[in-house]
Amino acid sequence: MTRLLVLEDDDGLRSSLRLVLEDEGYDVVEAAKAETALTLIEAPGVDLMLVDLMLGGMDGFSFIQRARPRTEAPIVVISARDGVADIVAALEAGADDYVTKPFLVEEVKARLKALLRRPSLGGTDGRGTEDAFVLDSVDGPLVFDRGAAVLTRGDSEIHLTHTEYRLLSVLAENAGRVLSRSSLLEHVWEGGFFGDERIVDVHVRRLRKKLESEPSRPATLVTVRGLGYRLVVR
């Protein structure tokens, strides 16, 4: 059973989400404070998180920043803060998706389900096996085992968040091809993110920090100006 953490300081909303999501088959654990939630993500493990930003004490941004090194579980923000700066800040901190209040419960359920599914845009280009790709890198080859969800350089494993894995999977499946932001938005986030393509740029920046020795001068995940992004493989 998928364990879902709901971090929300509104008791009524938190209880309502718990009841609805338990009906969907989730094992729901609740927290009203970020400090409590940090203890809950340790053991047993949490598979997904719904996180409000405006909390008493530690806010949601700080929680995400502290939680992300401890877990790769997808994080969906639910917040009344709908400004672009807030959305980008939450994504940069490590969130995977963002839903603004008021929201439809059906939308939250759909986004949670989408985060649990593997991405697919179609086909490989024949380089290596279907699930293994060797990426060019100035620091030595990177091996992305899509089936095992593992990225390695030599003997070192590079940890990916769920969304970074999904993004790299779609790019690897279409290695050498330029993928537009709208295409990545549709297939990595399955239906888009409020039509805002900036989420793609934020996650590309995060992924580049793990792929590139000089993220500001990318050689592995390159920008094709005016068109989109292309992954360089051997």
pLDDT tens for the chain, residues 1 to 234: 899 999 999 999 999 999 999 999 999 999 999 999 999 997 678 999 999 999 989 999 999 999 988 888 899 999 998 888 888 889 888 898 888 888 888 889 988 887 877 554 444 443 444 578 888 777 778 899 887 778 898 888 888 888 888 899 999 989 899 999 989 988 887 665 555 677 889 899 989 988 988 888 998 999 999 999 999 886
The reported pLDDT for the residue numbered 223 is: 95
Distance CA 163, CA 165 (A): 5
In the chain, where are the structural domains located? 3-116, 132-231
CA-nearest of 228, 219, 203, 231 to 134 is 231
Lateral strand order in the sheet of 3-7: 27-31, 3-7, 48-51, 75-79, 97-100
Query: Residue 104, Cβ neighbours under 10 Å: how many?
Result: 9
Can you name the residues that pair with 158 across neighbouring β-strands? 151
Q: Is the peptide bond before 119 cis (omega within 30 degrees of 0)?
A: no
Q: Does domain 132-231 have CATH number 2.115.10.20?
A: no
Helix (H) or strand (E) holding 134: strand 132-135
Helix (H) or strand (E) holding 48: strand 48-51
pLDDT at site 92: 87
What count of Cα atoms within 13 Å lies in the side-chain half-sphere of residue 37?
33
What pLDDT does 125 receive?
Answer: 41
How far is the C-alpha of 143 from the C-alpha of 84, rounded, in Å? 35
Neighbour count for residue 71 (Cβ, 10 Å): 18
**Which CATH architecture fits 3-116?**
3-Layer(aba) Sandwich (3.40)
**CB 29: neighbour CB atoms within 10 A?**
18
> Residue 86 and residue 78: Cα distance in Å, rounded?
12
Q: Are strands 75-79 and 27-31 parallel, antiparallel or unpaired?
A: unpaired
Positive or negative: CA dihedral 76, 188, 126, 232? negative
Q: Which of 159, 115, 151 is nearest to 135 (CA)?
A: 151
Q: Kindly give the pairing relationship between strand 132-135 and strand 142-145.
A: antiparallel
Comparing CA positions, the residue from 5, 162, 13 lying closest to residue 80 is: 13
Is there a contact between 228 and 181 (Cβ–Cβ < 8 Å)?
yes
* Residue 230 pLDDT: 95
**How far lies 217's CA from each of 20, 35, 62, in Å?**
46, 38, 29
